[in-house]
Amino acid sequence: MTEQYVSDFHEVDETQVAVVGGKGAHLGALSRIDGIRVPAGFCVTTDAFRRIVSEAPAIDERLDRLSRLEPDDREAIRTLSAEIRRTIEGIALPDDVAAEISRALARLGERAACAVRSSATAEDLPTASFAGQQDTYLNVVGPAAVLQHVSRCWASLFTERAVTYRQRNGMDHRRVQMAVVVQKMVFPQVAGVLFTADPVTSNRKVASVEASFGLGEALVSGLVNADAYTVRDGAIVDRTIATKRLAIHALPGGGTTEQAIDPERQEQPALTDAQVLRLVQLGRRIEAHFGRPQDIEWCLVDDDFQIVQSRPITTLFPIPQAGDGENHVYLSVGHQQMMTDAMKPLGFSMWQLTAMAPMHEAGGRLFVDATRALAAPSSRAGLLEMAGKADPLTRDALETLIDRGDFIPSLPDQGPAGPRAGGAPAPIETDPAIVTELIDRSQTALAALRRDIAAKSGPALFDFLLAAFEEHKRLLGDPQSMQAIMAGMEASWWLNEQLLAWLGEKNASDTLTLSAPHNVTSEMGLALLDVADVIRPHPEVVAFLEKVEDDGFLDELPRLPGGREARDAIRDYLDTYGMRCVGEIDITRPRWSERPTALVSLILDNVRNFEPGARTRRFEHGRREAQRKEQEVLERLRALPDGERKAGETKRMIDRVRTFIGYREYPKYAIVSRYFVYKQALLKEAERLVRAGVLREQEDIFYLTFAELHDVVRTEHADDQLIRRRRDEFRSYQALVPPRVLTSEGEGLSGAYRRDDVPDGALVGLPVSGGIVEGRARVILDVAEADLEPGDILVTAFTDPSWSPLFVAVDGLVTEVGGLMTHGAVIAREYGLPAVVGVHDATRLIRDGQRIRLHGTDGYVEILPD
């Protein structure tokens, strides 16, 4: 195939990123849109870049070395990337490449001033902008200067910032190629940036315009303050006119210079209101063409707008697709499930198929549409009360939206309001046999699933699974199970409310629920102490585990003294809890049974930090503390007016909470147990597809929804490009932070605490487990990297049940996400661990190793002086 080194804008569009890079492809597409003016220009293609790189074999070896570096090894990256840049800039352009560029320049005018701009194949993409990572040169005059700056743009693919950005985003340096845009300079009176969605709130109906005098480089480089306009529905709804003291202008002989703006012009608007609205209309036309919100750079020349760049805004959180044009309010499922990470397509589609309520996907996260519940007064009150108990920030975000009065439709009540959350306990007898029977029923159903799925494969497996999902939902919605869960939660709420009113004691139920029976999640953490007891007497086993990196280590243990016992203890633990893992609501996440190395650091911490028999002592200590607290509370109540009645009611509630609160954790365990059975069957099917050449690797199925995977199995054909695209999308979704509340306009609301009862500088959250503790903050984002010492306070983004083994080793808990009845809060109370959850940006504001004071009763964290 003949190589083409130059393509004019009119020859390319957004489908040719591989040839002319992201910027070039977008400029070509822009030049085809009616009514959009783009300065004339051409692209030096990636064919030319590859030709240049092939002239220097030394680059290949350096790329190998570069790929082996860690993103934080800045000195090595700086040295290697500088060597590659010098090599590229030192390569003379082949005569035929230089001739093609010169001919294209002649069409612009040989002495025309040009902008020479990098256009990488991994920039201005829907999933990654890579903005500012490569170089741009303005007002380059003459063929020799243009050719020199083309080489500089090629070399800028390997600036230190660009290399680090790619390494942090997991991109292979060899997969990224560099084209160069050469464009006729325009000399604007005004230039700036237009976002067709609000970059702060993400609202897609709000456009944001920034404008300043001279070239736009002053604005995008942060040199000057700009005028700022906010536009919604064809009207300017907010404006800020800045004092503009400097502008960048082109020099006659090439290059640019900073110039002071005359004092009388410094506070004049750079644009008229009419120009702002006209610019936004152009932006909406560009947005419609590309099908997503755009970040647009523009110039104003003699009252004529010219567009010099447009790229997707990659930081916006996607919106669930309703398709009806109505307003919708979505609540984050991840914030309720304590797992706000992005999920792969198989993961979120399986959760949708097995959940009790309809769910919508966006950005790899799941959301529930709460619009109808918010529209009617009675259901709104119930939802807000439940949201407030679960997560005050979600309630505040919803109230902020409701108070605007113009977004949520108003519907009449359809019937009487439901029972108030925290009101009368659910109609269920306080009988421990109920919980035992529910657990037995679940175990029987799980055993039947394992038995019946064993012989299923191909399309028959998927028919079986669809039926199993219905059984899954039936078990999940078992009325008696729901009654047991609500009985425990409502008894806990009753105790906190009444004992605060009668005795002035906050969060009294925290102590009363210590070591409650039948809590499978707290038992899971304590059971790992027993594993440590088996391993502790065998120093060779401990030394071996300290060096473990491979998940096959269990097979090697029997070679060591005590190794067989250690292996059997770990395997027994995995038989009971091996279906769990971090982010376990996503079926695609590796389970502990699949990756047992995730438990090694936890086991070693337990070996180091605890004495033999810690499990029994800890559980008994909690049980005795709960008994002592019960006696104390009842004695104090009897001393009050009408004390016998109050003590009697309280005793009934204590019995109820201790009977049922532990069961709160069991349904999640049952769900995850069934999920592991589903996953093993699907991976077995994936292995068959790999052997048949339908898939490249087993994990390809994670990037297909359940329905898509069903089609692949039925047709024996997979869309490899779809799988690749989904991998890229997932990588981009991982960088996004999901809001607690999301509207159909794209606005994300995260809520705020409105409290004045905390010390200045304290980090506010939700108190979920009482007590005050001081200690060293351990900021841990990955359970497998835990390295804890007695007295540490765990600080993390969120905790699901898989984190509970860490809870036995710390003195307190701080999370960014969570509510009163989420798993982390329940287990913290079980272990008597002071805890504050829902602390915004805790993992960023608290440094690993800092000393902090955690107020679990009042819900805030103080950072102490070093």
Tokens of 623: 């049980």
Residue of 335, 538, 823, 855 with catalytic role = 823
Contact (CB, 8 A) for 661 and 543: no
Residues 138, 254: Cα–Cα separation, whole Å: 8
**DSSP conformation class of 826:** H
Tokens of 469: 């999902």
Residues in the chain: 866
Separation of CA 809 from chain center: 27
Q: Where are the alpha helices (DSSP H) in 414-549?
A: 432-453, 458-476, 479-503, 509-512, 520-535, 539-546
Contact (CB, 8 A) for 842 and 763: yes
| Sequence letter at residue 642 | D
Largest CA distance in the chain: 101
Q: Where are the alpha helices (DSSP H) in 291-344?
A: 333-337
423 C-beta neighbours (distance < 10 Å), count: 11
* Close Cβ partners of 747 (under 8 Å, ≥ 6 residues apart): 198, 201, 202, 203
For the chain, the C-alpha Rg in angstroms (whole number) is 31
Residues 824, 799: Cα–Cα separation, whole Å: 6
- Residue 259: which of 267, 268, 250 has the closest Cα? 250
**DSSP conformation class of 665:** G
Helical axes 614-638 vs 520-535, angle rounded to 10°: 140
* Close Cβ partners of 694 (under 8 Å, ≥ 6 residues apart): 712, 716, 717, 718
Cα dihedral: 368, 374, 375, 381 (round 10): 150
Helix, strand, or coil here: 263? helix
Backbone angles phi, psi at 826, to 5 degrees: -60, -45
Tokens of 184: 């006729």
Whether residue 717 lies in the annotated active site: no
| Sequence letter at residue 799 | T
| Sequence letter at residue 746 | G
**DSSP conformation class of 137:** E
SS3 track for 468-499 = HHHHHHHHHCCHHHHHHHHHHHHHHHHHHHHH
Cα 124 to Cα 23, 37, 295, 314, distances in angstroms: 6, 19, 10, 9
Residues 851, 111: Cα–Cα separation, whole Å: 64
Residues 511, 658: Cα–Cα separation, whole Å: 11
Contact (CB, 8 A) for 535 and 610: no
SS3 track for 702-753 = HHCCHHHHHHHHHHCCCCHHHHHHHHHHHHHHHCCCCCCEEECCCCEECCCC
Tell how strand 793-796 and strand 772-779 pair up: parallel
Cα 141 to Cα 116, 144, 145, distances in angstroms: 10, 8, 6
* Close Cβ partners of 769 (under 8 Å, ≥ 6 residues apart): 507, 510, 813, 825, 828, 829, 832, 833, 834, 835, 856
Residues classed as catalytic: 823
